[in-house]
Structure 1
């Protein structure tokens, strides 16, 4: 997918509405900023919690949301302090999977009782890890995110495609789903979110590392000789581990994996973006998770393990130890 061309520039006003939610975005990267912008423009009170440069840009100009059809600035609150989650009805938990426990401990003293924490993260066990830290009284529901976004600079998020959520049942999930859908975020409540998380995990395992190691988008990858058979090998290993873990996956998953580049051919994986910025990737929670679960069942996952090791090597400073 080519970079979108903005066709309009405007500032989105925030209307008042009695049934609106107070929403905090913990970890205001590309995913959190996109969903935060969609919710804020619909009138919800949204507070982004992120880095200083990003927060300052949002405070001064609003969040710039650039899509294929528009280029707008959405006013909302922003803070560098984790205490800004205080009073939120819903927390969009969008930190990297490597930071789940640390971020959960940071926000725990400030969470309102009954506030719903939605984990909008890569990987399949972030909700369990966050819940173990937060304890009773702080409901956590996993969410599966299907969106192609990237940060184009401080206070500037670009949207390349899709934007739907699948969330697990909770006391507030139906209400949240209705509010999100009204804000233009298609949201489904599902009893098999674990299966949906695993389905996305398989997709991430198939493309994230390859995109990262080549620094190329999905569309280019699948046009190269030998890549599609390699993706099938990755899928086979993931499916074997999922079966061992008794995960119910959709019957058309293989077709969905191979169909991804058609819907977002110009997308670089989040792992590729992290690697390009010199940041720690989430590879241990993607291919690495499959490798760990395979070993727990006495199985091997050599293709996933190879990708895990290669990305670990690529993200390690020259001459440093590989973890």
Structure 2
């Protein structure tokens, strides 16, 4: 077992693939006493290596890297092709060609080699369970291994494979569902319920994730048994984040969120827009990363065009509570709020 690095504040900046999790954001969170995460998903190994080097140039604080594990599509080629046909009007409107709906392993082996070589302090996995051999390799490099889970059974499996802790992701979380399966009706626990169920079956440290936006919600997660709280959406409007302008513009508004496969073929929580709510005569197929590759040119073109109705707008249910602050200041505010909220639970009004 390898312990999580000691943190001045039990706060983790979630890995957010596709741009938001920059080295500057990771370093700023670490400097302020939290734990920042790079997102290795959709990055080539050499890009991940360069970002690791940038973080180390900016700070001596501990940090983590998140790895997305490959999965198999449940949808057929015909279902994927039928969905692609529904996207062609969008492609014509934005004057781009759809991507090729192909699968790959996102350079998994090369990334594990890199992370072992770089002796990264913490590595987390999402979309599945790493092999015991992978966990052992990372342990040999002195790395703490976390596995994202959305059910109690997944937490048990993570312990059995040798993980040092779990990230318990509630249904409130923005972005992709990070558990082992991608089936509707599986892993749809609210965060507080999930924390208590995981505590019943596992003694591993738990990092809580899902809809946490302020110190009061962080305090609730800690009171429910979490060792630390992981926040993603809360950091999206920090100046250090690589969040694109279209995404930034809609965060903090009154739009609700929805869990959909429309963007990537894997269920993910996005702010509601025309594309996210698309459940036409051809529902988005369960096919990740095939649909992710298919729609990537559309999403890039939508951002370039300022099109909020076609861009992916990942956000947790609490995005209306977002603050636009430097990351270090946000960490310090969250820590102070958490301390105040925890003190209030020890001395409740009228108690």
Normalized against structure 2, the TM-score is what?
A: 0.28
Normalized per residue, the structure richer in helix is 1
Normalized against structure 1, the TM-score is what?
A: 0.29
Normalized per residue, the structure richer in strand is 1
